[in-house]
């Protein structure tokens, strides 16, 4: 929701380049896909503000009706937003920024619309009041803003999962620029900052945070390098999409979360001498077998991390866990953010816990997560969801995730953008034809395990896959990746037919470990140059592989898909974006 008290219609008509208020978004995320939204309220602010002292000395000061400073040329223009989340126009002046308090509560779309209509009515009445009593408008405005922020902070039910930040806008300018997105804590200390490119036309960005946005903190949006730009904004909100939390578990598990007290070890840590704790029967055998099968393991425990780590070290099992979540947050919340950090679908998780309360808390919030009691651990190994093919890649999966943790830590400390970071990592891929049994097994595993980056989503049997590869009129490629932190191993499988007029790719599956690292950009640029033909990807749409469509279209492919089928086309003379970031060997 957006402030509208200080909209100046005369200035808007004189300086806007975006008169068409009926522009509709053309992105993947429509309002009917949004389940909940946080009721935050944006108003105009300044990057260098020290109001009101700066009004006398700042060269950018332009007096507003309430004697404050105009940060947007004409304020914020509200348009009708049928079938949209919001629809507002604004034009950033130099140093201008959008800013809002982060509230804990969340509302349905209908509830948010109702709140927005009521707020606009009050704001319009307030605007009339200010015009009648101009000498006191500044103090009234401050009081009104304070009351309004308190109101929004107390509205809605709390939810840790309304935490994806959705930004949608239309930009009519010619020159591209970066829009900075920043989160600060309640003390106004920046804790997260990124940017995304704004180009002419419709823009959509969904940022999936790996932490809970802090209640009482701030969210900010502003153009990089003090660009003065006009945007028509349709969404700038923390949302939960309907498909963010699946309702059913996946057929196979990828990650098991272990409780500790009376589950991994006998006893309760805070009630015991840490040196007296010992592993429960069969625990170490099950942990080792999960590791051999390539199942990622983490700790989710109601304890203090500093107390837990030495015990795990002493018992010789610390290295088996990729992450240790030892805190007092709800376990469902820890699992949700673990999935984000590992880049694994939440429906491939399971929790082993002795507490029925904790198991039911997770099941109520994350119905797609399987839960198991701590008894009969050995029986878990025979469950179908934990019966996974053992390959050379699966035996090293834990190490690859630990290497990814190192990359993330370096990235958090890296001062450049994401492209510069990946260049600095020295990421390179090696492409070859499928030649041996190890590559056969890993390619079949990728097709079976991969959901988000899977073109056909067909789950081949071993015999079906052999038949596919036996076709002499097609080619099958495998892709390996490595960087200065370590070797990813085989990360992709690709199957294509080289016809007279195009390359037709009908199978493409890529590991999520190299997602957003421009591997697909480099791969398709290589194929485009090698064969000198247009490329077409033809597959089946699922509720998961929208990520694949998004990444391929960002690379430069034209999306000609329909509701059921994927069809992505790269024309013969087209350029693939960011194709030089990853080095290619063949």
d(CA 432, CA 479): 7
Q: Do domains 255-388 and 409-585 have the same CATH topology?
A: no
Mean pLDDT of 525-541: 94
Partner residues linked to 166 by β-bridges:
206, 237
Place of tokens 């490629």: 477
Domain ranges of the chain: 9-241, 255-388, 409-585
- In 3-state terms the chain splits into helix, strand, coil percentages (rounded to 5) of 35, 30, 40
Inform me whether the pLDDT recorded for 413 exceeds 80.
Answer: no
CATH 3.40.50.1000 fits 255-388, yes or no: yes
pLDDT in tens, 487-514: 888 999 999 999 989 999 999 999 877 8
Which residues have CB under 8 Å from 94's CB, separation 6+? Answer: 60, 226, 228
pLDDT digits (tens, 9 = 90+) for 381-412: 999 998 877 777 776 788 787 777 776 666 66
Q: Please tell me the distance from the alpha carbon of residue 483 to that of residue 508, in angstroms, as a whole number.
A: 22
DSSP 455: S
* Candidate CATH numbers 3.40.1360.10, 3.30.1490.20, 3.40.640.10, 3.40.630.30; the one for domain 409-585: 3.40.630.30
Region 474-495: mean pLDDT is: 91
Cis, bond preceding 52 (omega within 30 deg of 0):
yes
Residue of 201 and 82 predicted with greater confidence = 201
Phi and psi at residue 229, in whole multiples of 5°?
-140, 145
For residue range 323-376, list pLDDT tens digits in order: 899 998 889 989 998 898 888 889 999 999 999 999 999 999 899 999 999 988
Q: For 38-176, where are the E strands, in sequence order?
A: 43-46, 72-78, 88-92, 96-101, 105-106, 157-158, 164-171
Its pTM stands at 0.65
Q: Which of 449, 441, 450, 417 is nearest to 520 (CA)?
A: 450
Distance CA 75, CA 12 (A): 8
Mean pLDDT of 19-24: 54
Residue by residue, what is the 3-state secondary structure of 466-530? HHHHCCCCEEEEEEEEEECCEEEEEEEEEEEEECCCCEEEEEEEECHHHCCCCHHHHHHHHHHHH
Task: Give the max Cα distance, the chain.
Answer: 84
DSSP letter string over 123-137?
Answer: HHHHHHHHHHSGGGH
């Amino acid at each position: 929701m957006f402030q509208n008290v200080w909209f100046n219609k005369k200035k808007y008509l004189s300086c806007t380049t975006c008169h068409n208020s009926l522009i509709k978004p053309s992105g993947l995320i429509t309002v009917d896909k949004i389940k909940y939204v946080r009721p935050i309220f944006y108003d105009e602010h300044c990057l260098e503000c020290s109001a009101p002292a700066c009004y006398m000395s700042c060269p950018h000061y332009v007096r507003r009706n309430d004697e404050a400073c105009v940060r947007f040329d004409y304020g914020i223009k509200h348009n009708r937003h049928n079938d949209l989340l919001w629809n507002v126009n604004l034009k950033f002046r130099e140093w201008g920024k959008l800013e809002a308090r982060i509230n804990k509560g969340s509302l349905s779309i209908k509830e948010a619309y109702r709140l927005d209509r009521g707020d606009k009515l009050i704001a319009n009445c307030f605007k009339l009041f200010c015009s009648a009593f101009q000498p006191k408008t500044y103090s009234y405005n401050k009081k009104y803003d304070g009351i309004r922020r308190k109101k929004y902070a107390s509205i809605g039910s709390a939810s840790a999962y309304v935490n994806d930040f959705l930004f949608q806008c239309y930009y009519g300018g010619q020159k591209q620029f970066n829009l900075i997105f920043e989160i600060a804590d309640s003390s106004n200390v920046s804790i997260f900052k990124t940017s995304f490119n704004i180009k002419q036309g419709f823009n959509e960005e969904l940022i999936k945070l790996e932490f809970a946005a802090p209640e009482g903190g701030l969210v900010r949006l502003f153009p990089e390098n003090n660009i003065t730009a006009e945007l028509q904004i349709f969404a700038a909100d923390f949302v939960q999409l309907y498909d963010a939390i699946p309702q059913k578990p996946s057929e196979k598990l990828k990650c098991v979360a272990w409780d500790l007290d009376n589950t991994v070890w006998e006893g309760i840590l805070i009630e015991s001498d840490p040196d007296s704790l010992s592993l429960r029967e069969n625990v170490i055998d099950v942990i080792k077998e999960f590791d051999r099968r390539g199942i990622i393991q983490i700790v989710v425990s109601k304890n203090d991390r500093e107390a837990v780590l030495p015990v795990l070290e002493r018992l010789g099992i610390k290295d088996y866990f990729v992450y240790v979540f030892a805190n007092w947050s709800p376990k469902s919340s820890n699992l949700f953010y673990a999935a984000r950090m590992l880049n694994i679908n939440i429906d491939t998780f399971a929790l082993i816990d002795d507490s029925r309360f904790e198991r039911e808390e997770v099941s109520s919030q994350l119905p797609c997560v399987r839960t198991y009691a701590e008894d009969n651990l050995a029986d878990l190994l025979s469950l179908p969801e934990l019966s996974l093919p053992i390959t050379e890649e699966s035996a090293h999966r834990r190490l690859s995730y630990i290497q990814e943790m190192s990359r993330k830590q370096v990235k958090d400390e890296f001062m450049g953008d994401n492209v510069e970071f990946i260049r600095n990592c020295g990421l390179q891929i090696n492409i070859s034809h499928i030649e041996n049994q190890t590559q056969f097994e890993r390619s079949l595993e990728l097709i079976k395990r991969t959901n988000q980056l899977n073109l056909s989503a067909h789950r081949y049997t071993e015999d079906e896959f052999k038949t596919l590869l036996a076709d002499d009129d097609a080619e099958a490629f495998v892709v390996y990746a490595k960087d200065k932190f370590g070797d990813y191993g085989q990360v992709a499988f690709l199957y294509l037919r080289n016809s007279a007029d195009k390359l037709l790719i009908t199978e493409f599956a890529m590991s999520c470990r190299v997602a957003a690292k421009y591997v697909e950009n480099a791969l398709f640029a290589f194929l485009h140059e090698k064969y000198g033909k247009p490329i077409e990807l033809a597959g089946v749409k699922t509720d998961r592989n929208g990520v694949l469509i998004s990444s391929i279209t960002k690379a430069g492919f034209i999306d000609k898909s329909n509701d059921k089928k994927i069809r992505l086309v790269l024309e013969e003379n087209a350029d693939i974006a960011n194709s030089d970031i990853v080095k290619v060997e063949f």
